[in-house]
Each structure stands twice: as C-alpha cells, then as structure tokens.
Structure 1
Amino acid sequence: MPHLRRLSALALLAATLGGCAVFGSDPAPPPSPPAAAGGGSADEGMEAYTEVVTADAVSDTGMVVVHRVDDQWLFEVPEALLGRDLLFITRIAGVPQGMGGFLPAGVSLEEQVMRFERRGDQLLLRKQSFQQVAADSLPIALSVVQNHLPPVIAAFDIEAEGPDAESPSLVIDVTDFFEGDTPAISGMRAAMRRQYQVRRLDPARSFVSRISSYPENVEVRHTQTFDAGSAPADEDTNTITLEMSQSIVLLPAEPMRPRYEDPRVGYFSINRVNYGLDEQKADDQTFIRRWRLEPSDSAAYFRGELVEPIEPITWYIDPATPDQWRPYVRQGVEDWNVAFEAAGFRNAVVAMDPPSPEEDPEWDPEDTRYSVVRWAASLTRNAQGPSTSDPRSGEIIEADIVWYHNHMRSYRNWLMVQTGAAMPEARSLQIPERVMGEAMRQVIAHEIGHALGLPHNMISSSAYPTDSLRNADFSRRMGVAPSVMDYARQNYIAQPGDGLEAIDFMRKIGPYDLYSVNWGYRLINTPDPEDERPILNGWIKERADDPTYRYLPQAAIANIDPRAQTEDMGDDPVASSRYGIENLKRIVPNLPEWTATAGEDYTDLEELYGEALGQYSRYMGHVVSLVGGAWVDLKTTDQAGPVFDGVPAERQREALAFLAEHAFTAPEWLNDRDILDRIGPMGRFEGLQARQVSVLNSLLSQARLERMAEMQILQPEDAWPLADFLDALRGTLWSELAGTGAIAPYRRALQRAHVDRLATFVTGEGAAGRSEVRPLVRQQLNTLDDEVERALLRIRDRVTRAHLDDLRARIEEALEGGN
C-alpha cells in the first residue's frame, strides 16, 4: 500500500544539522557519558534497565521504543537520535461542540522543530528556529547561536540506559509531558483560555490513550480536560475536554534541495535571514513550499519524457465522507495530475480509500505518514487546505484538506443567485447531485492546490475577456479563470440563451495552474539552487506579456488593483457587473418559487434573498475598485515598463456612471413585494440604504482619495484629478438641487451620508495630514452649502425643505468644527 511519504527513506540521507539555526557541514553529535556494562546505570541516580522497563512492559519498536508500564509511558531514545531535528505537530483530534467553525478535528495548532540533547543525567528537549542562519563553517555562526538561544521546552530525568552497548539508548518518562499542561503542545491556546475562562487542567481527567512508534515518526493520542468558567457547550459542567494528537516526525538529516521564491509566481514560502551570505547586510532567503518529487527514471526525466515519481503525493479520503460524494472528492484530488504532467511527472497525485481495520489495524488519519481529505461534521460553511512543511527547506511533509459539511449550503445558495437565470439546474433548493458534485470537485481541487503550496491568485480571472464567458465553447474549454486558485466560482456573466450547460458554469484547473506547477516542481539539472534562478526567471519572462500567466499576491498591494478582486471574473468590471445585474433582476422575482417547499415556512426565502443582496453588493464593489485604482504588474529590474500604472481617467468615469445608474439611483427592484410580503419589510429600507451608503463610503475612503491625489502628481497625463472626481460625484448625488420637485427618500438618505462622510475629512479621520484631500473636501462642503441655499428658494416640498435645512446645519457644524 503506497504511503504519502515513506519516511524510512529519509533515514538513509547522510548528514545531520548541528547547533541552533546553523546549517552546512556535519557536526559531531553532543557527547554522551558511556553506558555502563550490561545496561546498568552510568550514574548512581539511575536504575537498572530491567527495573525501569519491567517484564510486564508492553513495548512498540520504531523511531523510539515506546514502553508502557501500567499507567507509565516511557521513551527509549537512541543516542543516534540526539541532535536530530524532530518536527512536533500538535493537532486537535476531537473537539467539543461550539469551539468555533475553524477548529475542526484534525486541524494543526502548532508545528515546531525540537531536538533532544543530553545534559548529565537529563535529556533536554529544546525548540529550534531556522529564521536566522549561517553556515557553521563561518565565524559568524557562533554569534548566530549566541544571539538566538533556543528555549528548553522540557527536561527529562534519564531513568536508565539501554542494554545494547552497540546501539546505546536512554530511557525517559514522558507521562507528565503528555498528560500535563505542557504549554508548547497544549490544545488550549492562550486566547482560548481567556475566552473560555480556563482555570486549570484537571490531571484526574487527563490521560494518554495510546502512543505508537513507527520507523520515522511517533504518534501520541491524549486527552486534556480543563476546568472552565465559560465552556463553549454544556456550560453547567464547567468543563472542556479536548482529544489531542501529537506527531513527532524525524526530519531528513539532509534537507531537501530548496527552490527560491519569486513573487511573480504564486507559492507559499518560508523565509530566513542568512548572516553568512556575501552581502553587506543580513540578507533574506525565501524558499517555496512544495512536496519532494523524485523521478523513478532520472535519465528519462531529464530527456523530457513523462515519468512516474518514486513516491506520489497521496491523499486518503476520510471514511466519514458520504458515499455519494466520494467520487467527486477523488476527482478533485486527481485533477491535479494534468498540472504535474506539465512538470514532467505522470500519476504524481493519487487519491485512495483508507485501508480497512483488517488490512491495517494501525491506520490512523492523525498519523503524519498519511494526508487525508477530511469531512467535518460542522455547520461552518467553508473548506481549507493547510499543510505542514520542513522549516529548513520548505518541503511539504503532510497536508490535510478539510471539507465542512455545511459548505454545500454555500454552494446551493451561490449557484442559485449567480447562475439561476441561465442554468435551470440551479433553480431549486435541492441542486442535482451531478451539479453539486461538480462544484464540490472544484472546491476540493482549490484546497488541494493550497496543500501543494499554491496561494490564492485573485488576479487570474481578469485574463479572460468578459464576453468570452458567454461563449459555451470557450467556457467549456477554459472555465471561468486561468486558475482554480482564484475566487471566481460560477459564471454569473452568461445570459439566458447563451447555450451553456451546467458544467460550463464551473471553475476548473487552468493554464496558469499548469504553468505554476511546472515552475515550482520541474526539476532543474543544475549544481545548486542559486544556479536555478536565471532559468526560473527566464520562464517567467517568456510569459510576462500574457495575462493568462499573471499572478499577484493577495496582500495590501493587491487591493488597489481592480483586476485582483474576489468573486469577480472577466477583464471589464463594468461590463461583467452589468451582466450580473441583468441576471440578478431575473433571479430575484423567482426566489419565492425556487425556494418553496410544501409545509415549510419562508426561512429559506429569507436566506436566499439575503444572498441576492450580498451578490448585488459584490457587483458594486468590483466597479468601485476602478476609481483611484492602479494596475500592479510585479517586475524585476531586467523587465521594462512600470510596476504601478494608474487606471485611466476614462475607465474611472465609466465606473462612476455605472454606480450612478445602479447604486446611487436606488435599486428598488431589490424591494420585491412578493418577497417582502412573505419575510417582512421591517428594516428593508435601512438595509438597502446601508448598501448604497457602503458603496459611497468605499468611494470616499481615505486611501482611495489619497491615491487619486498622488496619481495626479505622479502620472498627470492620464489621472482623474481629485477635484474633478469630487465634482462629478457631487453632481451625481445632488442633481435634484437644480429642480423644484421633492427629493425621494433613498436619495435623501444618500445625501445625508455624503455630507457626513465629507465631514470626517474636516473633523475626523481625514483631518490630519498634508495632502490635497482636506482642502478639496472643505471646498466641496462650501460649494454644496451654496447650492442647497439656492435650492431652498425654489423647492416647496415640506419634507425636502426639512432635509435641506438639516444638511445646511450639518455642513455648518463640520466647517466650524474643523481645525
């Protein structure tokens, strides 16, 4: 039976790392006192081996020998293991109800590297850090150790020395380490202790269930019970019980060859400061996180042939997964094989059913030899794909995917409000199995992508022309984005009559994914990682002008690029959102029919209506991003052109015109009477008004206005001057002042919000600073005051006059209150 990683192969690797945060040659292991003849004690404080490991001990041989003597748990640690890097992975294996949606069974809480070292009659367990390093052959290595002293996590008395003089070992008692409240491996984090008012761990109700030893890992299962003043469930018990899993994994003596990270291609990464480089500074080194894939035939691989890896990346499907969904989970995993073929590997990713208890009674999803796609019985509506990696090299060792059961509810809702106009299968609370299964397949593929080392790529969906997504042939071949790692879920652009089938609305692994896997996983036949960098750079430059292969990290820098939005698709946010609105106008009136279930109330209608309102807000947000936005294209110094380029003024004006039509003119079509008569109108005016105000406040965010002022200085040829934007927005929101009629309720609310928002730049959050924003906003308020004063001479509607009088008072208060 193939495993995720045959860790036994790691033991054959040559050298061990020595010293704190130092890498390079092979230092000698820490000296140990010689064992006494016959396995006796080298110190009077120790007992004879047979007195500690008694005849009735139950033993399990592996990386360490585990002995159970009554309720006592002993580790017999080979001296050869001293100084070796051990990865401790702390997971919660069982959680009580109410502990929070993102804390399912199997989630990793802590990953840390430890080393055993002997100090007299004790074994110390010391935590290691690899964030500051230097080759141990360099003089500065000594300073690195002295200035980054690793903490001692535990100290164990050596109870006895092993009987084999040729393979010496040391026996320690680990019972209290696992049964007690050891902070480094506890399931109760500091924030949780505060939240649940945890008083103490109760030793009478905390115990070790089992410890199993394997060739290169040890698996511990133990229970922790805490007294808590505010337990998440069963509050009357004042008790929180957690089932914990600890995995102790022997890392390779020689770390995997790393690959340097490049921000132009998306990978999770590890970072360290290397004091030993030939630079006039302590320089950073950043390596990508990836699995170790080795070709079964290296010669054929480097000839360019497809070869199978020695060990594939294997995921086991959780036995708790419902039978009807297992094929889709399997497909979502193995869909990545097409990407690895681009990197030269055939059958690199495998999905398997776990062995039966008869086939392997020791199989355990918590065992780090196995990666598992877990099915969490949880009301949380999400999925996740975390992984565990070697902090020295970035090698991914294990990764568990979590699918939360209630995430199907999310996709039921999204399918209806995004595609129901053009996809008949989405017009029901019971989505057909093949459609829901396909959506699940793509979510699993997305999470597997994370587990392979790939982060989100939110700019990917902007590569496809908006109108191409209405073409059935294009959508079937290309999906909705070049990368499954984008948050572009279902095709909301396709219109009724475009001829798309259900599968054509879904995202899928695309050309960017093939490109990124090839970039990160293809082996390069060079002497060392430094020699790879020009080749990797060349691969990026070959594709640099093709938006299909564009990547932008999901960080603050991406927030200013309108192409890097979540839940969007197409290269034109205005056109895409217009299509989305047209579909939403068809969907909303049908929600009462599509959500109806005989004998049920209107709870589902209220939920789906809320989803429709949220979808409307997403469309508005995609367009808002154009105003004051900038295209961000990461480049190196050998690439021509700007990294930051402001969105042209004409595109920004087009965005404001769209918002004037669809946001600032109240979208009263959302106030569908058939819906509101069933779920109640209470708060619906305020709700729709709040969405309009949210769009307005986003347009008038401090950061956006500052960018517009800056772009006017730095790129004046194509910038939209801030003063002109503020004038255009005022003209959009206050057009009624030129007439004599009443101002409608939604517009009155929006005008109040406009004045209140402008006032903050005079008296509140935007009052400080030396930018152009404050004086221009003050000018807007003065101009608006004059316009309102003139309008009061013409308008006779009583409510409107009261509204305008109130606005003048607000403006006066803001101007007088400003510094």
Structure 2
Amino acid sequence: MIWGKISLITALYCFLISGLQAQDTPLKDTRDSTRKNTEKSYQSLLKKAKTSEGLFKIHQSETDYYFEIPLSLMEKDFLLVNKISAVPIAINEAGINKGMNTNNKVIRFSLNGKGSTVWVKTIVPQAEAPAHDAIAQSVKDNFIGSVIENFKVEAYNPDSSAVVVKVNKVFDGSEKSFNDVFTDIGLGTSPKTSLSGIEHIKSFPQNVVVRSLLSTSVTEGQNTIAVSVEVTTNLLLLPEKPMQPRFADNRIGFFTTPRWYFSDTQQKMEHRELITRWRLEPRTEERSQYLSGVLVEPARPIIFYIDPSTPSQWRPYIMAGINDWQKAFEAAGFKNAIQARLVTDTADFDGDDVRYSVVTYAASPKSNAMGPAVVDPRSGEILESDVIWWHNVMTSLQYWMRIQTGIIDTGARKNEFSVEQMGNAIRFVAAHEIGHTLGLKHNMGASAAFPVDSLRSRSFTARMGGTAPSIMDYARFNYIAQPEDQVTAITPSIGVYDRYAIAWGYRWLGDTTSAWQALKIQQQWIAAHAHDPLYHYGEQQSGQNIIDPRSQSEDLGDNAMKAGEYGLRNLRRLIPQISEWTTAPGETYYQAGKLYMAAIWQWNTYNDHVIANIGGYYLEHPVQGDGKKAYTPVPKNTQQQALNFLIKHLFTIPEWLFNAAILGNSFAVKDTPLGPFEYGPYDMKREQQYGLLYSLLNDERLLRMLEMESIYGKQAVFTVSDLLSACRKTVFTPTIMGRSLSLNERLTQQNYVDALIVSADKMMEKISKKALTPAATLNIQGHNQPGNLPQLCDLTPRAFGEKAEATSLRNIYVTAMTRTSGVAAAKRGELYAILQVLERNRDKGDTDTRNHYLDLILRIRQHLQLNQP
C-alpha cells in the first residue's frame, strides 16, 4: 500500500516535469517571436525621438519618455532617491525646502514572463547568509522583493541586448510607486495629473535623473491651497561589490543602518548596525605607505560643492567649515580627504546629479540646518550628502551670540553683525552639519568634559578650541566666561572627540580585514580612552525627559549649577543694556522685545539644565572589564546643590529679570503666524516658573528616584521625600511665619500646588494601551527610511521655538502602573501636608493673602475628595 502511494506520487512528479519540459521550447519560441516583432517597431517607435546616452539611453518623443534598459542591468541593485527641487511659499514656511531628501528605496528591474513586461521590485537588503550555508536558501525565500511597478516592453533594441519601456506614469504623478512626495512631506494628497508632468530627464554614466513638477491641492477648513512641488528622482546604480562594512559600537556616535546575519552555526540570528561612512581608501600603489603611517590622499576624496545661490560673503566661511574636518581625517591617515569647491563655468557639476554633494542654500524663514546622507543600505556606504542651509540660521546665531556672549564680546551687541563676526559663526555651524554628513551623530555629552572654571581660562579655551571637545555637541557659545577673563575662543570648533571618532570610523584596515576583525581592533581603540572624559560619547536625549544631566543641549561644563551662576551674572549685566543694543533713535522697540524674550528663555535654560540633575542617572554602555556601571544616580550632594540653585533662582523669581526697565518700552515679544505676541511680565513669570516646576515634579523623574532608593537604600540617595519636603518648606515659609504674601509669593505657591494637582490627576487617569512603533517604520519626511539617516539640527532658540515631544534614544522604562507607585502616595501626602499648613494659617495676612489661602484649600480638598470646610 505504501509502495503504491510512492509510485503514484512519482508518476505525478514525472508528469509535471514532462509538462514543464514540454513547455520550454514554446516559451523560448514565444520570447524570440516577441523580440523579432518588437525589433521591427524599434525604429518606428523612436523615429522622431531625441536620444541621450548614459546609464540608460533616454528617448524623448514629444511628451513621451522611454528608458532603454540593457538586459545586463536586470536584477542589479539601484537606489531610487527622491529630492525636493523647488517649493511654493505654502510649504516653504513649514520647513520643506530645496535639497531635502523625501524617500529612498533599493529597486531591481526584472524581465518578466515571456519578455513582454519589466517588473520593478523594491528590496530591503537587510539579511545576509554565507552562500554555501543551507540557511542561505531560506534567507533568499524569506526576504524576497515586492513588485511595486510594471512596464510594457515597447520594443527590443536591434541586437536584443536592451528593452525599451515607456516611463511617464511613474514620474508624471499618475502612479506613486517611484515617488509619493505629498505623502512623504505630510500632506497626504495625490498629484493632479492634469497639472503635473515631467520637465526633463538626464542620463549620466552611473545614474538617471528625472525632474518633475507635481501639483495638488490641500483643504484646511474652508480654504483650499494649491501646492506645486518640483521633485528630482535619481536612479543610481549601486556598486557591484558593496563596501566592506563596519559595525557600530554604542560608545561612539555614528548613524547606522541595520543588518541581520544568518548562518548554519548560529543558535540565534546576529543583529548588527552598520555605521554610515564614506568609502575612503588609499590608492593601490600607496597602501603600504598608508599602513606604515604616512599620510596619503584617498583614491576618491569627499567633495562638497557650494550652491551658487549662496551669498558670496558667506561662501569662504562655509568652505572653511568644510575644510576644518581635514585635521580629523589626518587622524585617520588621509590628507586632502575632504574638499570644498565653488561651482564654476568649467566645473564638472550638475546639481540634479545625486553623485554630487552640495551645500544647498534655502531662501526660507526657517531657522535650521540639516545634513542628510544618501546611503547604500547593503554596506552603510555614504554615496552622497547634502547640507540644507536655511537662510534664517543667521537670525538664531545672532540671538545666541548677543545673549550668551554680548557681555564679553563687543562685536555681538548689534542688530547686524560684521561679516567677519557672522562669518565665524557660520563656519562653526557649517562644520557641525558637515559632521552629520560624515556619519556623526550629536554628542551631547562632550561639553561635560570641561571643568566649568576652565571655560573662564583664556589659555585653556585657546588650547582646547572653544567650548567642548566635540563640535557635534550643542555647546553654542561661552556664556560662562566673565568680562575680566578676556577669553576670546568662545565658539565651538572641531575637537579631540571629533578627530577620535573620524579615526575610529575611517581608518583603513586593509582589504582582507572583515567587519568582525575590524570591530575587535576598534574596541581596543575605545578601551584605550574608556575613562578619559574627552572621548566620552553622550547620546542625544528627549528634551522632555533628560535622564543623564551630562548630555544636554546648550549646556557647558561639568557642573550645571556653577555654570548657571556664571551665566546668570552675565545675563543680569545684559538686561539693562537691551534697549541700547537693539534700538536706534527713531526706531520702535520691537527688536528690544525680541531680545528680552530671548533673555528670559536663557534664564529658563539655566534652570532647566539644573533640574536634570535631580533624579538623574549617569548613563554608560559598560562592557566586561571596563569597570563602568550602566546606571549611576547623580550623587546625593550634587542633587542637593541643584535644589539649592532652584530655591535661589526659580522658587524666588528674580526681580532684575521680570521687573526690568525695558518693560517701560516693550514687553517680551515672540513672532507667530498671527503676528507678534507681546507677553505681559506677570504672565511670563507664571508660565515660565510653572513649566519648570512641573518638570521638577515630573512622574518619571520621581520614579527614577524611587528606583535608585530601591537599589542603594534611602540614606545613600536623594529621595522623593527629601525633594518634596524641601520644596514645601521653601514655598510655604512665609505662610508659616504668618505674614502677608507678595504677588510673587502667591504666584509661586499657586504654581507649586497646581503642578502637584495636575500631575497627580494625570497619573490617575485611565491608562490607554499604546502600541510600540518600530523605528524602521517611522517616516519623518522620509528621512528614517533605510539608507537615509540625517540629523535635523534644532537651531531655533528656545524663546522662538515650539516644544515638541522627541523620542529618546535610550529607552529606560520606569512608568508601568504609575498610579500604584510611591509617587502617587508622595504627591497626595505632600498636598495633604500643604493643606494642613494652609488651614492653620488661613486667617492670617491681608485680604489678598487670605483669599489666596481659601482658593488653595478649596482646590486641594477638591482634588483629595475631602469634605469642604
């Protein structure tokens, strides 16, 4: 019986095989027939066409465009790159500008079926296995490409070595398979095909470039806005042999692209991140010299072109910012590795060509800059990078320099700086952005390497190059130096960490050194500097949830309290001079109001830096043998110093800041889409203090304190009860004394109580389940797609920006079931203790004070659901 079944299966198998074999000849004949038929139509199809040579032949017949794709390029990897080339004002104001990369994907062309159709598949080249391993077939089967488009073969060329396909539909807005720009930039609309079309197509030796005008309309309320965007799509042939990859180490800040490794010998899949970097290699004839320590030029240097639309006075400074990285590449063994060039009439340059890296100058009110890169996701190789330079970056630089260094630098006191003054600031921003295009992330922990008092030293700052050992920090300008210090090196520059990071990622280790072997060597390099703070990498954190106080934006030095004291001394000197620095005879006080707003936010920033120390952890990425700890609570005495600073500068609102003479002429001013808003000083005090107090009492901060108490014990750490009892004593001492309260004292009590009530109410709200969003699926203007990893620099001063929630790169989870934690008990207990103080003193003080107490009593009782008195 069993034999009978086997025989039946065998017979069926033979039948199927014979059927397939029988079909083989007709299939071939059909394909040959198809080719013969289409050969006849090749000449007639393209009789009137204009043809250009390149990677593909491009044929244009009136408004129809055809690609002549060689069969030799079928199944080869191409990178499809979409960039913005021109935008209308409607989206310019939202920060969508020329040069921005909206979406990248790896694609392959495949000749399908009987040779009458070309399919386009999108590939995610993330998985790899040794070709000889059994699992290699499974990897191939489980990571196939997905078909996103098809083209009818219109003709074969005369020798049948290429097919001709009409490509209009993927570039003129009819289909979204190649380009879905309006979704990528967040509009969520489709192109109107009658108002969209191809402007031109160019073919180069390694890529094809298509420029399209795509139009849509967006309806908001009762208004419909027309939006037309010019988009450039590049089809870039990826290298046949990918660059030898390098594995990431989270102790060095490089952008990465993911890679999964499978093999027969594994007991689990190996997940690695590949760092993104340029392919810098010595010439073959100079490799022995390189390995012996001689500086050599790379076979292919990194070249950045300066957008011709860049104002001429800024070009030398942007070029200097690019060339400043040369000293970092010398640490990696290369000379002349990075170059800045102007676009001349004779330059071999085309701005549409993705092979050229450009510093693109965007005329826009946006005050930002960014350094996106086009990356080969198979290896992490950076193929091309751009810096998007928004014109209004200079506005931000001017406010920072006046507020942070105007007291020590007379050149930073005017509404308009000299070309040299602004140029030097532009140079530093350009160098920072170029760092991103080289693969480097922000290193927000770098500035903590310098002792605060060393930043007051003229010799130290000159020797170390400014404010931090890395230009990739947001260590803006030296607000610590005092007028008597005569410090002149007050601007960030490329430092010790930057040279170290470039050497770590770019030093060539030879053709035969695998990524696994290279990682062992690179780990030895890290170990050599493991305990030197100059080489420390501190990853960027969410501004709404700083865990490691060493890694903050816009902070300086190793002690936020000491740094803040120096900063406030200079700020107090600045306030009386605002009108003189900003307003000439006959002018309004608009600029004065704007600078005053920036000054208030600088005070906020100093307090914010200090708050991060309370409930903070020093975060490391320890490895076996380095003696480091992953989570170390900020020392108890440091947290107490932080609270003392806040008692002095936050709980007691500074009169010199909020009762300044400038208020006779102007309130603090912030520009908005509805026009300038003038903020009254009482409102500003209330808003600014409340926001900082709410941050101080943040649930996650207090939960981190409880975590450390559970590990180290109550006596060894700064506890939640330490914090709340000290706050209560500070805020309600005037009440305990029985005297009438000033307006500011009442304001502080209201803010403190309200911050407790609101945060406690939120803690008890019904918790809704939140789904985790995989990082690979995020698409912020397409920039988190594989192979396209920029870093948008927040160059908007806090005074003029909008707070936005950010995703922390280090996910430390302490918030499960918050309503059952000790934080809920602590906040309710604190409110009850305050209630007792208020009820004992409710009849003391003047009428305003007694009304204030009654209001707080009613609020607390309502929150605690106690019977009203």
TM-score (norm 1): 0.90
Partner of 2:718: 720
Partner of 1:142: 137
Local SS of the residue matching 2:414: coil
Counterpart selection for 2:604 from 614, 617, 641: 617
Among candidates 564, 577, 585, match of residue 577 of structure 1: 564
Separation in structure 2 between the aligned mates of residue 817 and residue 104 of structure 1, nearest angstrom: 57
**Residue in structure 2 matched with residue 732 of structure 1 by the alignment:** 730
AA of the residue aligned to 1:138: D
Whole-Å Cα distance in 2 between the matches of residues 766 and 115 of structure 1? 53
Separation in structure 2 between the aligned mates of residue 68 and residue 113 of structure 1, nearest angstrom: 26
- Corresponding residue of 1:225: 215
SS at match of 2:864: helix
The reply to whether residue 82 of structure 1 matches residue 74 of structure 2 is yes
Query: Gaps (5+ residues) in structure 1?
Result: 1-30
After superposition, residues 439-588 of structure 1 pair within 5 angstroms as 439-478=425-464, 479-501=466-488, 504-525=489-510, 527-555=513-541, 559-588=546-575
Q: Does 1:398 align with 2:398?
A: no
- Give the match for residue 323 of structure 2: 334
User: Which residue is equivalent to 1:279?
Assistant: 266
Match of 2:394 among 408, 417, 425: 408
Q: 2:848 is matched with which residue?
A: 799
Q: Say whether 1:769 aligns with 2:826.
A: no
Match of 1:184 in 2: 177
Contact 2:541/2:552, CA 8 A, preserved across alignment: no
Q: CA deviation at 1:512?
A: 0.3
Partner Cα distance (1:702, 1:230) in 2: 37
User: In the alignment, which residue of structure 2 is the partner of 1:97?
Assistant: 89
**1:382, 1:407 within 8 Å by CA — same for their partners in 2?**
yes
CA distance in 2 between counterparts of 1:400 and 1:757 reads: 44
Question: Contact 2:90–2:227 (CA<8 Å) still a contact in 1?
Answer: no
Partner of 1:185, secondary structure, is: coil
**2:41 partner amino acid:** A
Query: 1:140 offset after TM fit, Å?
Result: 2.9
Rounded to whole Å, the distance in 2 between the matches of 1:682 and 1:511 is 43
Residue 619 of structure 2 is aligned to residue 627 of structure 1 = no
SS at 1:565 equivalent: coil
Distance 1:72 1:57, change over 3 A: same
Letter in 1 for 2:838: V
**Superposed displacement of residue 674, structure 1:** 2.7
Match of 1:436 among 418, 422, 426: 422
Asked if 1:709 corresponds to 2:701, the answer is no
Q: 1: CA distance between counterparts of 2:747 and 2:264?
A: 61
Amino acid at match of 1:434: E
**Cα distance in 2, alignment partners of residues 405 and 706 from structure 1:** 43
Q: 1:761 to 1:32 in 2, by over 3 A?
A: farther
Alignment of 1:253-292 (within 5 A): 253-276=240-263, 278-292=265-279
Match of 1:26 in 2: none
Closer, same or farther in 2 for the Cα pair 1:105/1:35, shift >3 Å? Answer: farther
Question: Does the CA contact (< 8 Å) of 1:35 and 1:161 recur in 2?
Answer: no
Question: After superposition, what is the alpha-carbon deviation per residue over 1:216-255, rounded to whole angstroms, capped at 9, x for unaligned?
Answer: 11111111122444599xx77x532111101111101111
Report matched runs for 1:675-686 at 5 Å: 675-680=662-667, 683-686=680-683
Question: How far off is 1:276 after superposition?
Answer: 3.0
Counterpart of 1:597? 584
Show CA shifts across 1:546-569 (max 9, x none). 000000222469921110010001
1:184 maps to a residue whose letter is: S
Question: In the alignment, is the contact (CA less than 8 A) between 2:615 and 2:633 conserved in 1?
Answer: yes
Matched residue, 2:648: 661
What is the deviation of 1:776? 2.1
Rounded to whole Å, the distance in 1 between the matches of 2:29 and 2:299 is: 40
For the residues of structure 2 that align with 1:379 and 1:762, how far apart are their CA atoms?
40
Q: Deviations over 1:740-774 (max 9, x none)?
A: 21112122122122222223455432575332112
Structure 1 range deviating more: 169-178 or 271-280: 271-280
Deviates more, 1:758-767 or 1:393-402: 758-767
Equivalent position of 2:101 in the other structure: 108
**Residue 601 of structure 1: how far off its partner (Å):** 1.4
Note if contact 1:219-1:247 (Cα within 8 Å) is conserved in structure 2: yes
Equivalents in 2 of 1:252, 1:639: separation in Å? 39
CA positional deviation for 1:407: 0.9
Shift of 1:672: 4.2
2:155 touches 2:165 (CA, 8 Å); kept in 1? Answer: yes
User: Normalized against structure 2, the TM-score is what?
Assistant: 0.85
Q: How many angstroms does 1:602 deviate by?
A: 1.5
Q: The residue matched to 1:457 in structure 2 has which SS?
A: coil
Q: Where does residue 347 of structure 1 map in the other structure?
A: 336
Q: Matches of 2:639 and 2:287 in 1, distance apart?
A: 54
**Amino acid corresponding to residue 783 of structure 1 in structure 2:** A
Tell me the equivalent position of 1:64.
56
Q: Is residue 299 from structure 1 mapped to residue 348 from structure 2 by the alignment?
A: no
SS in 1 for 2:416: coil
Check if 1:214 corresponds to 2:204: yes
Distance in 2 (CA, whole Å) between partners of 1:287 and 1:443 is 27
User: C-alpha offsets along residues 353-406 of structure 1, whole Å, 9 cap, x if unaligned?
Assistant: 1131xx25x832121121001111111011111111000000000001011111
Whether the 8 Å contact between 2:659 and 2:681 is mirrored in structure 1 is no
Asked whether the 8 Å contact 1:561–1:632 carries over to 2, the reply is yes
Give 1:311's aligned residue: 300
* Alignment check: 8 A CA contact 1:762 1:815 kept: no
Letter aligned with residue 857 of structure 2: R
Contact persistence 2:187–2:218 (CA under 8 A): no
Q: Where does residue 781 of structure 2 map in the other structure?
A: none
Q: Supply the AA of the counterpart residue of 1:462.
A: A
Distance 1:117 1:682 in 2: 62
User: Would the alpha carbon gap of residues 194 and 432 (structure 1) be closer, same or farther in structure 2, given more than 3 Å must change?
Assistant: closer
Alignment partners' CA distance in 2, 1:576 and 1:271: 39
The alpha-carbon deviation at position 152 of structure 1 amounts to: 1.4
User: Which residue type is aligned with residue 390 of structure 2?
Assistant: Y
Q: Alignment partner of 2:824: what SS?
A: helix
Does 2:155 match 1:160? yes
8 Å Cα contact 1:101/1:378 also seen in 2: no
Match of 2:829 in 1: 779
Cα displacement (A) at 1:40: 8.6
Q: Which range moves more in the overlay, 430-439 or 670-679?
A: 670-679
Aligned length: 772
Amino acid of the structure 2 residue aligned with 1:317:
I
| Secondary structure in 2 matching 1:189 | helix
User: How far did 1:813 drift?
Assistant: 1.4
Does the Cα contact within 8 Å between 1:318 and 1:375 map onto a contact in 2? yes
Displacement after TM superposition at 1:122 (Å)? 0.4
Over residues 507-562 of structure 1, what are the superposed CA-to-partner deviations in whole Å (9 max), with x where a residue is unaligned?
00000000000000001235311111221111101101100000022246992111
2:177 partner SS: helix
The C-alpha deviation readout for 1:707-763, integer Å capped at 9, x for no partner, is 111111112253112212211111111111221211121221221222222234554
Structure 1 contact 90–245 (Cα < 8 Å) conserved: yes
Shift of 1:282: 2.5
Mapped partners of 1:603, 1:143: distance in 2: 67
Please tell me whether the aligned partners of residues 613 and 639 of structure 2 are also in contact (alpha carbons under 8 angstroms). yes
8 Å contact kept, 1:40–1:48: no
TM-align CA RMSD: 2.4
Q: CA–CA distance in 2 between the matches of 1:401 and 1:761?
A: 41
User: Once structures 1 and 2 are overlaid, which stretch shifts more, 690-699 or 279-288?
Assistant: 279-288
